[in-house]
Amino acid sequence: MTNTSHASATRRRQSTLVPNLIVIVLFAALLLFFIVPVIWLLLAPTKTANELIHDNPLSFGSLANLGAAWRHLITFQDHALLVWLRNSAVYSIGALVVTLATSVPAGYALALTKFRGRKTLLVITLVVMIMPTATLVLPIFLELNQFGLIGTIWSVILPFSFYPFGVYLVYIYFATTLPREILAAARIDGCSEWQLFTRIALPLAKPVAALVAFFSFVGNWNNFFLPYLVLPNSDQFPIQVGLNQLLSSTPSFNPVAGAGLNITSPELALAIIIAIVPVLVLFLFSQRALVSGMLAGATKG
Amino acid sequence: MTALNTGHEAVSSVTPVRRRATTRRRAGLAGYLFVSGYAILLLAFGIFPTVYAFFLALTNDRGQFTGLNQFIKVAQDYRFAPAFLNISLYLVMWLLSVVVLTVVVAIVLRSRMRPRLSAIFRFLYYLPGALAGVASVLVWLFMLDPAVSPVSWLLRSLGFADFAAVLSPGDLPVILVLIAFWTGAGGWIVVMYGALNNIPDEVLEAARTDGAGPWKTAWHIQIPMIRKWIAYMAILAFAGGTQLFVEPQMLQTASLGRVSPTWSPNQLAYVYAFQHGDFNGAAAISIFLLALGLICAALLVTRSDLFKVDES
């Protein structure tokens, strides 16, 4: 009895050995694929362009090199990098404020008030939310161009503020956490609709507001297409468009235009790191937010 | 006011009904006020641009109605078919890899690994997502340049002697899949893992008592139970993939012009608008892409029960 069960256990172990091996190899390969580029990127600014080519790709150079790369980068076009970072902050945070101010009340009203057209608004919101944001960029550009708004900061902030996914998240949140009966009771006690919203709904909205803020900020900080189309001047660029300009000023990728400039591979790598720091910091704390956002974005049936 | 008050007292038995009616009206008005800010943004940056793009696509530069001529014109452009072909090739590879690998990885992470270790893997796979967009393309330009790449031995053994050899136009779909997978797959693995977590333990327990091994459980229970999430991911990945712009645009810059500047449909629309000054033609291409996005969205909203439009 003991013998046979022992034998079958051994057989089972043997039959899972090969699949296990495949799984281990797959996971290791994926791990290298995802992480090696990140490690390389973090190490690159500590080396000179020459060391990048000749040294071990995953070796540490020196802090002096890092300082030199920083000085080259910062003097590029008279502190353009800092201007781009400031612009990105203004656009993303400005849009974030407008998004929260519009999507929290809208999601609340869609979930807990009744008005004609509510369902239509909800369906349109859903459809626009699922469509990739890039689909509307060119039409929005054509519209802004028609109204002469190209090149103003509002041509970026206002389209960035339109965030149907945020409205939907707030809607789902209120529909599932705030029972209508509480509002009905408060109404009978004489609360105005405005008081219901500010005293009952808003204090509850903190977690979903944080979720909307995370998705909105990350999406807008990384957005390239719209600002690329509507902002003609370098001093208005957000960092993403600025990075693109750095790319075309790097001799390794553009020998003609890049000649004579100090922007080489280490400087470019450093610029990438600086550009992603705000998003990276958010990402370190946001994995849970991603799951709850995406799984709430589409509810279980 | 006084008259209303007297009436109020006189028919006091009807009051609850009337009060409910007025509250509802009050709530209705408040509802409009609460959604007004968002509704204005929706009109300005959702509805109006769509309508305006349609208007442009149906007229010429003097505003005369031209029927479907703009659509025919762009469809007959020699760059139109290749752009859609490029994107299709990319989409097939991208969808296959993202669906198969994220599901397999999520299942292994969920059922065959200690929770601690699984959390570390999920986090590391997810991290490159922070570099979405321009940053990811720049990183991959370095990764694919045999001169500086940490895997230059691999590139050389695959026959790529230098950066120019890697960035030949035929390789673009593969490069774009690598970039998309690098930034996007980790997030989807985390989401799929979350969906798998929602399967009750009793179900998996029952399968185990019935003698199903881990692979059988995955195939017959876990995958069918997260099927709609897989469809959700596939449709969003497809819709997003049709819109490629940043990645091929930057690869074009880095390839010093060897990659076509109209590799993807969105780039073609961009060239129409910014190089030909032909906004009508650009709008017509946008409408094609808009239609693709709309079809995907409509599919998800009507054919799946993923989205809740009315609380029951």
Top-tier CATH class for A79-247 = mainly alpha
Q: Do A158 and B45 touch (CB under 8 A)?
A: yes
pLDDT the model gives residue A16: 67
The pLDDT value recorded for residue A131 is: 85
Chain B contact present for A143, CB below 8 A:
yes
Whether residues A126 and B309 touch (CB distance < 8 A) is answered with yes
**Is residue A169 less than 8 Å (CB to CB) from chain B?**
no
Using a pLDDT cut of 90, give the percent of chain B over it: 57
Predicted confidence band of residue B256 (pLDDT cuts 50, 70, 90): confident
* Residue B206 contacts A where some CB pair is shorter than 8 Å: no
Tokens encoding B227: 């099927």
* Per-residue pLDDT at B9 exceeds 50: no
- Whether A62 has a pLDDT exceeding 80, the answer reads yes
Chain A hits for B175, Cβ within 8 Å: none
Contact A106 B35 (CB under 8 A): yes
Model confidence over B159-211: pLDDT tens digits? 898 888 888 888 999 999 999 999 999 989 988 998 898 888 899 899 989 88
A206 lies within 8 A of chain B by CB: no
C-beta atoms of A105 and B38 within 8 A = yes
Q: What is the predicted pLDDT for the residue at B23?
A: 61
Q: What's the token pair of residue A138?
A: 């060119």
pLDDT tier for residue A261 given thresholds of 50, 70 and 90: low
The strand pairing partners of B65, in sequence order, are B59
Close Cβ partners of A279 (under 8 Å, ≥ 6 residues apart) = A217, A218, A221, A222, B130
A interface test, pick of B17, B58, B125, B134 with most A CB neighbours within 10 Å: B134
- pLDDT of res. B164: 86
Best mutation target, B308, B309, B310, B312, to test chain A (most A CBs within 10 A):
B308
- Whether residues B243 and A172 touch (CB distance < 8 A) is answered with no
In three-state secondary structure terms, A112 is helix
| Neighbouring C-beta atoms of residue B89, cutoff 10 Å | 16
In chain A, domain spans: 2-73, 79-247
The chain A residue lying nearest B237, using CA atoms, is A132
User: Which range among A14-23, A90-99, B200-209 shows the weakest confidence by mean pLDDT?
Assistant: A14-23
Chain B interface, mutation test: which of A25, A115, A249, most B Cβ atoms within 10 Å? A115
* Complex prediction ipTM: 0.87
Instruction: Provide the pLDDT for residue B10.
Output: 39
pLDDT of the residue at B8: 38
CA distance A288 to chain B (A): 9
pLDDT higher for B12 or A97? A97
Closest chain A C-alpha to B100 CA, distance in angstroms: 13
Q: Specify whether domain B79-303 bears CATH 3.90.1150.10.
A: no
Comparing B119 with B80, the larger pLDDT belongs to: B80
Q: Provide, as residue numbers in chain A, all residues whose Cβ is less than 8 Å from the Cβ of B42.
A: 121, 124-125, 128, 162, 164
Task: Work out the minimum CA distance from A89 to partner chain B, whole angstroms.
Answer: 16
Q: How confident is the model at residue A295 (pLDDT cuts 50, 70, 90)?
A: confident
A133-181 per-position pLDDT tens digit: 888 999 999 999 989 889 999 999 999 999 999 999 999 889 888 888 8
Q: Is the predicted pLDDT of residue B266 greater than 60, yes or no?
A: yes
Q: In angstroms, what separates the C-alpha of B224 from chain A's closest C-alpha? A: 14
pLDDT reported for residue A111 = 92
Say what percent of chain B tops pLDDT 70. 90
Show me where the domains of chain B are located.
2-57, 79-303
SS3 string, chain A, reads: CHHHHHHHHHHHHHHHHHHHHHHHHHHHHHHHHHHHHHHHHHHHHHCCHHHHHHCCCCCCCCHHHHHHHHHHHHHCCCCHHHHHHHHHHHHHHHHHHHHHHHHHHHHHHHHHCCCCCHHHHHHHHHHHHHCCHHHHHHHHHHHHHHCCCCCCCHHHHHHHHCCHHHHHHHHHHHHHHCCHHHHHHHHHCCCCHHHHHHHHHHHHCHHHHHHHHHHHHHHHHHCCHHHHHHCCCHHHCCHHHHHHHHHCCCCCCCHHHHCCCCCCHHHHHHHHHHHHHHHHHHHHCCHHHHHHHHHHHCCCC
Chain B neighbors of A197, CB-CB under 8 A: 30, 34
User: Is residue B21 very low, low, confident or very high in pLDDT (cuts 50, 70, 90)?
Assistant: low
Q: Does residue A217 have a pLDDT over 60?
A: yes
Shortest distance between the Cα of B292 and any Cα of chain A, in A, equals: 9
Mean pLDDT score, A76-94 = 93
Per-residue model confidence (pLDDT) at position B3: 37
pLDDT surpassing 70 at residue B311: no
Residue A46's pLDDT band (boundaries 50, 70, 90)?
A: very high
Q: What is the pLDDT averaged over residues A25-40?
A: 95
The residue with greater pLDDT, A76 or A230, is A230
In this prediction, what percent of chain A has a pLDDT beyond 70?
A: 89
Q: Contacts of residue B262 in chain A, CB cutoff 8 Å? A: none
